[in-house]
Amino acid sequence: MTLNNQLETAVKNTVEQLFSVRLENVEITLTRKDQNGDLTVMVFPMLRHIKGNPAVIGEQIGAELAKTDLITSYEVIKGFLNITVAHEVYLKDFNDILSQSDYGKSPVDKTKSGVMVEYSSPNTNKPLHLGHVRNNLLGYSVAQIVEATGLKVNKTQIINDRGIHICKSMLAWEQYGNGETPESTGLKGDKLVGNYYVKFDQEYKKEIAALIDAGKTEEEAKKEAPSLIAAQEMLRKWEQGDEAVVALWKKMNGWVYDGFETTYKNLGVDFDSLYYESNTYLLGKDVVQIGLDKGVFEKDPDGSVWIDLTDEGLDRKIVLRSDGTAVYMTQDIGTAIQRVKDHDINSMVYTVGNEQDYHFKVLFLILKKLGYDWADNLYHLSYGMVELPSGKMKSREGTVVDADELMEEMTDTAREIAQEQGKLEGMSDADKEDLYKMIGLGALKYFMLKVDPKKSMMFDPKESVDFQGNTGPFIQYTHARIKSILKKSGFEQGDLKVATDLALTDKDAAVIKLLQQYPETIEAAARNYSPALVANYVYELVKEFNSFYQNVPKIVEESNVDMKQFRLLLCFKTAAVIKSACGLLGIEVPEQM
């Protein structure tokens, strides 16, 4: 039982004894650093069940708790009961932490239905960019965190591999490509195809300008431009199964998939299942008839089918056009239903930018009205835009921040800084290169994930690779530093147990206190689908450890054998939790730095 659980049980028992009320839960937080105490019991929420002055109630509870072995002192400040935990309790709790090899995580329960986490979901007409990087890192990290709470997770993406935008790059390659391939150009396949998407837009704009010069309005010119008409015709041929068009589509998409795979591997993300829009775009049409039969949908005189959500504060939404073709909403309805059929899941998390907030409100509401019980377990992991100091990105104009180039830039920046500091003596060149990549990617991932997903963010590559402050490299460096301490001390894992009669300093206790928060941090991060909670937790742990290391006597010179063993084990477990927390963020930590 964790310290928080012990305290919660003690408070519940005390309240029942004093006031004849059994509380369902007790709110406990870390005590503010400008106040005395380790943990704070919130008295105000109890006033729903107990009549009286919160300060007086806090005094009464504190006085009773002081009679136990759990605390040594208490202080009430208004409605907050600050308690100081007995050192013996900390040490017993630390022994419990030491006994758990995968501390903080729960084993996956394969008997329960799992969660599907969707992320990435790119278009096959261009490479992945900075926005995709945030999307992938968020989705992958949320999947790791949810799995750490004991749930099965299926990581998936739906690849947008059809439509007019795909035909635009196909048409441009056909017209201007001269048969070039990734092999003949040395380009990654996704970059080669992306170049032709940009080429299409350039030629299309020239045609529009020429038509306007010939007397057409801008609106007419956009519709009548030969390139657009040809792309629309190519899409019609694809839908009709034209052999030549389908063969070209398969070839160019194949190039893109090879390119994506390289990017995903370098970014350190993967998937358990894949869905392709070319296979799912007709899904959902059969559900429309079910919805009509149930009275969920309504048919207009022109034959189009709609759902009226005005009573829910939304609007009317089309689910089938008058010509019988599906819209994106129809596809998403069908795909959600198909996924539940395909996998043992009863929950889905969609990692999609906040510009789609309205779409997902409607989607989830439709699925609920159609009677799917799992519709209550759908979540839109909505995230804000990523911007650079230089401004926004536009993919049609070829001004996106390419994901591969960004990762290379991060590695290069890490190399420059590490070489300036000159701390890598004795490492081979290959090991150094691996380390530069680890630091660069760690900087990128941590900077992206420490921000609440809902917030837009400014990504500054140079700031992210700082070895001081709230950054990935600072956390990685602390892990390497702890490993160095353990190595110099000749530490061997041996018996993972400490004496419980040691006189701890406040710094010793502060590190244990943060280690105790790790399981609850994972639970909160999974509940809120927020890797930022894990990122900021590990930063606080690293700060507290560095403060501990600067303020206690040199561990290797400690004369008290039990105290030396305790502090080495404190180092050992802190490093393990740093590595575990970083793993949930997809970040590797080095043994040497």
> For position 32, which CATH number holds?
3.30.1360.70
For the segment 281-306, what is each residue's pLDDT rounded down to a tens digit? Answer: 989 999 999 999 999 999 999 999 99
Q: Which of 227, 244, 263 is the last residue of a domain?
A: 263
Q: Are 193 and 255 in contact (CB under 8 A)?
A: yes
The two structure tokens encoding residue 478: 């602390």
State residue 399's pLDDT score.
55
Instruction: Express each pLDDT in 381-397 by its tens digit.
Output: 999 998 877 654 444 44
214 is a domain residue: yes
State the pLDDT at residue 397.
Answer: 46
Judge whether 10 and 65 are in contact, CB under 8 Å.
yes
Mark which of 53, 85, 117 sits at the end of a domain.
85
Name the H helices within 423-471. 429-449, 461-464
Statement to judge: residues 79 and 193 lie in one domain: no
Q: Could you report the per-residue pLDDT of 81-110, keeping only the tens digit for each? A: 999 999 999 999 999 999 999 999 999 999
Tell me the percentage of the chain whose pLDDT exceeds 70: 98
* pLDDT, mean of residues 243-251: 98
* 79 and 167 fall within a common domain: no
pLDDT of residue 398: 47
Answer whether residue 426 shows pLDDT above 50.
Answer: yes
Model confidence at 2: pLDDT above 80: no
- The per-residue pLDDT for 390 is 67
Question: Which CATH number goes with the domain that contains 461?
Answer: 1.10.730.10
pLDDT of residue 387: 82
Whether the pLDDT of residue 494 is over 60: the answer is yes
Two tokens at 19?
A: 């006031």
Q: Indicate whether 1 pLDDT > 80.
A: no
For residues 487 and 581, state if they share a domain: yes
Say whether pLDDT at 401 is over 60: yes
Taking residues 436-465, what's their average pLDDT? 93
Query: Does residue 167 share a domain with residue 80?
Result: no
Do 68 and 182 belong together in one domain?
no
Please provide the average confidence, as pLDDT, over all residues in the chain. 93
318: which 2 tokens?
């089309």
Identify the burial level of 333 via C-beta atoms within 10 angstroms of its C-beta, where 0-12 means exposed, 13-18 middle and 19 or more buried.
buried
Question: Is there a domain that residue 284 lies in?
Answer: no
The pLDDT of residue 27 is above 80? yes
Mean pLDDT of 177-190: 97
Residue 382 belongs to a domain: no
What does the pLDDT read at residue 394?
A: 45
Structural domain range at position 28: 3-85
Beta bridge partners of 273: 156
If asked whether residues 571 and 465 sit together in one domain, one would say yes
- pLDDT higher than threshold 60 for residue 558: yes
Q: Answer yes or no: do 46 and 176 share one domain.
A: no
The answer to the question of residue 143 being in a domain is no
**pLDDT one-digit tens code per residue, 65-82:** 999 999 999 999 988 999
Give residue-wise pLDDT tens across range 503-542: 999 899 999 999 999 999 999 999 999 999 999 999 999 9
Looking at the structure, do residues 441 and 573 belong to the same domain, yes or no?
Answer: yes
What is the residue-wise DSSP string for 510-568?
A: HHHHHHHTHHHHHHHHHHHT-HHHHHHHHHHHHHHHHHHHHHSPPGGG---HHHHHHHH
pLDDT band for position 340 (cuts 50, 70, 90):
very high
Structural domain contains residue 72:
yes
**Among 327, 334, 353, which Cα is nearest to 290's?**
334
The total number of structural domains that make up the chain: 3
The pLDDT of residue 396:
45
569 and 467 in a common domain = yes
What per-residue confidence (pLDDT) applies to 107?
96
Last residue within a domain, chosen from 214, 238, 263: 263
First CA to last CA distance, the chain: 36
76 and 205, same structural domain?
Answer: no
Would residue 146 count as lying in a domain?
no
Do 193 and 67 share a structural domain?
no
With bands split at pLDDT 50, 70 and 90, how would you rate the model's confidence at 496? confident
**Tens-place pLDDT, residues 252-291:** 999 999 999 999 999 999 999 999 999 999 899 999 999 9
Q: What is the pLDDT of residue 45?
A: 95
**Do 329 and 363 meet the contact criterion of CB atoms below 8 Å apart?**
yes
> Looking at the domain assignment, is residue 499 inside a domain?
yes
| C-alpha dihedral sign at 465, 469, 475, 479 | positive
Predicted pLDDT of residue 593: 82
Residue 172 has pLDDT above 50, yes or no: yes
In a domain, 394, yes or no: no
Distance from C-alpha of 169 to C-alpha of 173, rounded to nearest angstrom: 6
Report the pLDDT value the prediction gives residue 391, as an integer from 0 to 100. 54
81 and 201 share one domain: no
